[in-house]
Chain A
C-alpha cells in the first residue's frame, strides 16, 4: 500500500497530460480548418518578432501599469514552473524535495520562487481590483458578459489559489522552515500556523501539495476552453504575423486572373470553358464563415486573450458603434469551436447547421463601421489582425451578395463609370490647374 500515493499521482499525471494533448490536437485541427496561407518566408524576422513581442512582451508595456504587472505574472509563471518539475519527481518517486541535494543553490531557487509567487499574488490581486473595483471600461464592454467575464476571474482566482498553496506548503514544511533558507516569504506565512502540532502541519502540507498539483493539471486543461490559451499561442501567433506594411491589403489572386483575362485582347471571353474546367466549383470571394478565413486568422481567434486594448482604441467603438475588434475575434473563435464540435459529432465531417459567421455571429453593421485605420492591429500585444477578417467579410458581402450600403454602391458605380468616387467626368480631371 505504500506506493498508492505514487500510483495515484502517476495516473493523475497521465490523465492530466493526456487530456491536454487531446485538446491540443483538436485545437490544431480547428485552426487548420482555415485556408492555406504561406507564411514561411523571412524566418529571421519572424524569430526576432516572436522573441521581442511574445517572449520579450515588448508591446505589453505600451500600457505601463498593466504591462509591468503582466511581466511579473508571466515571469513568475515560467520560472515557478521549474518547481513543478520537482513536484512531479516527488510525486512519482515518493521523494521529498528531490532537488534539495543542491544545497545553497536549492535555497536560492526556492527563495526566488517564493518571492516571485508573492509578487504574482500581489499582481493578480491588482488585476482583480482593476477589473472589479476600478472597473476599467475595456473589461466591461458588452461582449464581456457571462463566460468571458467569469473566465477572466476564474484565471485570477486560479492563480491566487495556486500561489497561496505553494507558499502554504512551504510554510507548513517543518524541516524546510527549520533550515531557514529559501523561505523569504513562507517564513511569514508560517506565523499563521504557529502553535499547530507537527502532525497537523504535515497533513496541511500534504493537502496543500496535492491540491496545488491537481490545480495545475486542472488549469492546464482549462486552457483550451479559456482566453488563457494565449500563454501558448502568443508564440506561433507572433511568429506567423503579417510582416508587410499594415496598409497593404492582400490582392485576391483569383480576381487577378479574371481581370487579366478581361483585359487581354487575345482572350475570347465568350469561348467555352477549357476541358475539365466546367466542373470546377467557382471560388468564393471573401469570407462568410470561418472555413473561408485562413489558418492564421483562426489562430488569431484562439490567441485572443480578450484584453480589449484593440476595442479601447477603435474609433468606431469609442464613438458608440456596434463594432468591437475584440468581439470580432471572440465570435470567430466561438464559431470555429462550433464548427469543430459539429465535425466531432458527425464522424469527422461537417454537417450543415444552417449557420455561418456572417449574420449569425458578426453583423454587416459591425463590418461597415470599420475605418480600416489599423489601430486595433497596432495595439494588439500579440499581433492579432482583426482588420483582415473584417475586410474578408466585406469582400463577401460586396462580391457575392452585392450587399454594400447604398452610398457605397453609388461610389463604386462612379469609379466604374468615370474613374472617381464622385460623379465627375474623367475629362474634367485636370480642370483644377486653371481654376
Chain B
C-alpha cells in the first residue's frame, strides 16, 4: 500500500491535507489492521492527500490516563505533541474513538491544538463535499450499529456513523440500548488490557446478546476495541457463521469493492 509518512512528505517539502493517526490498535492488532487498511483504501479512492507518522507515532496515552497513570499519559501526550507540532499538523483523522477523544479534548491544554475527526465524520464529509461517491452495492443486509462510548456519550457523535450506514443500501436496525443509552462493550477505561473483576457475566457477552436480538447479518462498529469485544462476543455465543462484526470503514471498502 502507498502510505506516505510525514517524514517523507517533509523531505519532499510537502504538507498533506490531513494526518491519519493510526493508533496502537490500528498499527499492531491483527483485526484492527484490516480496519486501518480499509480506511486507507477509502482515502485513496477519494484522492485524499494524507500521511501517517509511522514509527514516529506513539500511544496517545489514553489507556494510561484511564488506568490512573497521569504521568505516563502526559509524557506520551507531550512527546506526540512535540512531533506533531514540528510537522505543523493542523488536521487529524483516526479510526479509534479513544485516540479521537484524547487528541481532540485532552491534548489542547498541553499544547496540541488540532482539528480532529473520527473516520466516520471524515468520510461523511468527503461524501458531502462530493469527493467520494458510494454506489450502494450492498443488498439490504440487516445491520445494527454499536455506539463506541468515546465517540457517542463522550463526544456526542451518534449520527455520522449512522448516516454512512444508511448510504450503503442496508437495513439499519437499532438495539434496545442505543445512542446515549448504549451499553459499553466492556473495553474502555483500560479494561481492554486486563481481566474483568469478579461478576456473573462478561460485559461483551451482555452487549453482543443484545445486538443478536436485532437479528443482524452484521454488527457494525466504529472502534477497534469495540470490534475485538463484539467479535469475542460473537464467538462465545456461537454466531460466527451467521453474524459478522465489521468497522464502518470495512463496510464501505467492501461495498465499493476496494
Q: Tell whether A pairs with B.
A: yes
A245, A404, A433: the one within 8 Å of B68 (CB): A404
Cβ contacts under 8 Å, B76 to chain A = 415, 419
> Is A333 among interface residues, defined by CB-CB distance under 8 A?
no
> With the chains together, A422 CA to B190 CA distance in Å?
12
> With the chains together, A187 CA to B26 CA distance in Å?
73
User: Are B71 and A368 neighbours in the complex by a CB distance under 8 Å?
Assistant: no
User: Are B1 and A375 neighbours in the complex by a CB distance under 8 Å?
Assistant: no
- The minimal Cβ–Cβ distance linking A325 to chain B, given in whole angstroms, is 13
User: Are A247 and B24 neighbours in the complex by a CB distance under 8 Å?
Assistant: no
> With the chains together, A399 CA to B68 CA distance in Å?
7
> With the chains together, A390 CA to B211 CA distance in Å?
29
> With the chains together, A321 CA to B191 CA distance in Å?
13
8 A Cβ contacts from B104-133 to A: 104-106, 109-110
User: Are A407 and B153 neighbours in the complex by a CB distance under 8 Å?
Assistant: no
User: Are A247 and B101 neighbours in the complex by a CB distance under 8 Å?
Assistant: yes
> With the chains together, A428 CA to B5 CA distance in Å?
14
- The minimal Cβ–Cβ distance linking B111 to chain A, given in whole angstroms, is 9
Interface residues on A, range: 35 or more
> Is B145 among interface residues, defined by CB-CB distance under 8 A?
no
Cβ contacts under 8 Å, B33 to chain A = 432, 435
> With the chains together, A320 CA to B201 CA distance in Å?
7
> Is B188 among interface residues, defined by CB-CB distance under 8 A?
yes
Chain A contact residues, majority secondary structure: helix
Number of A-B contacts (CB under 8 A): 219
- The minimal Cβ–Cβ distance linking A251 to chain B, given in whole angstroms, is 5
8 A Cβ contacts from B135-188 to A: 149-150, 153-156, 177, 180-184, 186-188
- The minimal Cβ–Cβ distance linking B196 to chain A, given in whole angstroms, is 7
User: Are A375 and B184 neighbours in the complex by a CB distance under 8 Å?
Assistant: yes
9 CB < 8 A contacts A-B: A245-B104, A245-B156, A260-B78, A321-B197, A371-B188, A371-B191, A375-B182, A422-B28, A434-B1
The answer to whether residues A255 and B71 also contact, given A246-B153, A315-B186, A371-B203 and a CB cut-off of 8 A, is yes
8 A Cβ contacts from B1-24 to A: 1, 3, 5, 22, 24
- The minimal Cβ–Cβ distance linking A313 to chain B, given in whole angstroms, is 7
> Is B214 among interface residues, defined by CB-CB distance under 8 A?
no
> With the chains together, A378 CA to B194 CA distance in Å?
25
A246: nearest residue on chain B (CB-CB)? B154
B3, B29, B37, B181: the one within 8 Å of A430 (CB): B3
User: Are A255 and B67 neighbours in the complex by a CB distance under 8 Å?
Assistant: no
Q: Which 5 A-B pairs have the closest CB atoms?
A: A247-B154, A372-B189, A419-B58, A320-B200, A394-B68
User: Are B28 and A374 neighbours in the complex by a CB distance under 8 Å?
Assistant: no
A260, A391, A405, A416: the one within 8 Å of B194 (CB): A405
Q: Mark B61-92, 1 if CB is under 8 A from A, else 0.
A: 10111111111101110110010000000000
